[in-house]
Amino acid sequence: MKTIITFEHSYLTAADFNDGQDFDWLIEQNFDVFRIERKQQQWQLKVRHYIGVIGLPSGGQVEILPKLAQAQITHADEVAQTRQWVQQMLTAVWQALLPKSLPNLANQRLINPLAPNPPPINHSLSLSEWLQAYFWQGFAQYVPNQQYQQFEQNQLYLQGKLLIKQQLQHNCHQPHKFYHQSENFVMDTAGNRLVKTTIERVIGSMASSPLSSPLLPQWQAVDIVARDLYDILFSQALQELTALPSLLAQRNYTFISFCYALLTLQQASSQGQFLTPTWLVNMPFAFEKWVGRKIQQQFAAQNFELVEQKRQPLTVQQGLTIKPDIWLKSADKLIIADVKWKKTATFNDISLADMYQLLTYASEFDADEAWLIVPTLSTQLLAQPIEFCQPKKTRFYLIPFAVRQGCLNLFY
């Protein structure tokens, strides 16, 4: 199975595909990840700010990776290095990729569950291979939820409780039969259906060979569900967890949520169909969430409170609000941060729109510091103060986030 590896901002043409029908199919789907352009009398697909995997009708895949410019590096080395830090990022932020309309039960009973233990970072794995390894590692720790179910049967032998009324009604002329009720554990629960559906629709269809972790026979009785039932199924799965011991409920919730994320991040074609395994993540959103998680870790010992997307009223008449990406407060300092997934290595790279936005945040929140956080591959680039022609109460900084190390390059 051939994997076509491409990056943000790059172009795909029919010449990149062994099977030209794959390219035609991609154009027809009108996925959000691509912008269709026509240049030099040929159709092209420009890759937008997404990462992920798209399965092709021929059985191949398109792997889309984020792009940070590097000088004097081979394509193979760039792919390997990018895969390494992307795996770190997805491990940290997968839970933030869940739909925002999670049932309240998740927030009330299962607050901030740990992420599944990720497989070792392996830059030789494609995104689809890494997702499969991540899934099967979590699956090995998952305890399938089972429930008692009552069955009424009329058989030649007695098993369980004899139902007298039904026995007299049905078996007056066949005393050799017994109308009885029995209870058995069944695997066909909402949580297990969500897991089985993920295997069938995402993980199994990504594999280039038969499943590396074949399911045990009891999973054959578990049904998969239609795509429009994912939300309902997840709500039912959360309800089932309330009957489990706390530690088991936490562990199962973690894995079930991961399955739900994999399912809901699939993108339909323009016809609303899911013909191939497709798993796409908006890169600016993922980067913003990654930065938030890492800031929380870096400042954990300094008694800072962190709020993402904190709303602040801006106007009275229109009811407009503003919400900076990061609101970070200690007893004596308030920091506002705006996170941008764009190349901003120097002050000359800062757009006027981004500067206006940061100034507005700083003014409206009366912040002590305002940070513009941008990605970097460098470990040497440190935070730099932004100097204005007119004095400002707020101190402004351009803060690099080192993606390979997954941390802010601060000045303190």
Please tell me the predicted confidence (pLDDT) of residue 371: 95
> The tokens 């697909």 sit on which residue?
45
Residues in the chain: 412
Angle at 225 between CA 221 and CA 229, to 5 degrees: 145
Q: What is the pLDDT of residue 108?
A: 43
Tokens in use for 143?
């305890």
Residue 343 phi/psi, 5° resolution? -70, 115
What would the pLDDT profile of 152-194 be if each residue is shown by its tens digit?
A: 667 776 666 776 677 777 778 888 787 776 666 567 788 899 9
Which residues lie closer than 8 Å to 391 by C-beta, 6 or more apart? none
Rounded CA gap, 91 and 284, in Å? 16
> What is the sign of the dihedral through the CA atoms of 239, 245, 247 and 248?
negative
The pLDDT assigned to 117 comes to: 67
pLDDT at 70: 78
Alpha-carbon distance values, 259 to 90, 198, 367 (Å): 14, 6, 40
Q: Tell me which amino acid residue 259 is.
A: C
First to last CA, the chain: 48
How far is the C-alpha of 50 from the C-alpha of 129, rounded, in Å?
18
Q: Which of 195, 167, 161, 191 is nearest to 179 (CA)?
A: 167
Burial class (CB in 10 A: 0-12, 13-18, 19+), 331: exposed
* Sign of CA pseudo-dihedral 275, 276, 279, 282: negative
**pLDDT value of position 79:** 92
Contact 325, 338 (CB under 8 A): yes
Can you give the pLDDT at residue 106? 45
Which ranges of the chain have pLDDT less than 50? 103-112, 210
pTM (two decimals): 0.82
Report helix, strand or coil for 64.
Answer: strand
HSE on the CB side for 396, CA within 13 Å? 22
Q: What domains lie within the chain, and their CATH numbers? A: 147-186 (no CATH), 299-408 (3.40.1350)
